[in-house]
Amino acid sequence: MRKQVLWAFLCGLLLPLVLAAVGGREASPPTVPEGESEGITISLEDRLWDAQTRIMVLTPSGNVRQMRLSEYLAGVVLAEMPTDFEDEALKAQAVVARTYTCKRMEHYKHGAAAVCMDSGCCQGFWDEEDYVNSGGSQEALDRIRSAVTSTDGLVLYYGGELIDATYFSCSGGFTEDAAAVWGQDVPYLQSVESPGEENAPRYVSTVRYTPENFCLVTGCGGEGNPSGWFGQVRYTDGGGVESMKICGKTYTGTQLRSALNLRSTLFSIRVESGMIVIETKGFGHRVGMSQYGAQAMALEGSAFEQILKHYYTGTVLRNQGGA
User: For residue range 183-206, what is the model confidence (pLDDT) as tens digits?
Assistant: 999 999 999 999 999 989 999 999
Look at residue 318 and give its three-state secondary structure. strand
Whether residue 78 is found in the same domain as residue 123 = yes
266/309 same-domain check: no
Which residues is 209 bridged to in the sheet? 276
Q: CA-based angle 163:77:99, to the nearest 5?
A: 15
Q: Are residues 184 and 299 in the same domain?
A: yes
> Is residue 120 included in any domain, yes or no?
yes
Range of the domain at 236: 204-281
Are 175 and 188 part of one and the same domain?
A: yes
Contact assessment for residue 54 and residue 66, using Cβ atoms and an 8 Å cutoff: yes
Please report whether residue 90 resides in a domain: yes
What 3-state class would DSSP assign to 143? helix
Could you tell me if 270 and 224 lie in one domain?
Answer: yes
User: Does 32 have pLDDT greater than 60?
Assistant: no
Q: Residues 74, 119: one domain?
A: yes
233 pLDDT above the threshold of 90: yes
Residues 231, 131, single domain; the answer is: no
Residues 53 and 193 in one domain: yes
Residue 25 lies in a domain: no
In DSSP terms, 154 is beta-bridged to: 319
What is the tally of structural domains in the chain?
A: 2
79-100 residue pLDDT tens: 999 999 999 999 999 999 999 9
pLDDT for 222 beyond 90: no
Q: Mean pLDDT in the chain?
A: 88
Helix runs in 191-234, H state only:
211-218
Query: In this structure, how many other beta carbons lie within 10 angstroms of the beta carbon of residue 273?
Result: 6
Exposed/middle/buried for residue 249 (C-beta within 10 Å: 0-12, 13-18, 19+): middle
In this structure, the answer to whether residues 210 and 165 fall within a common structural domain is no
End-to-end Cα spacing for the chain: 58
Q: Is 284 left (phi over 0), alpha (psi -120 to 50) or beta?
A: left
Q: What percent of the chain has pLDDT over 90?
A: 82
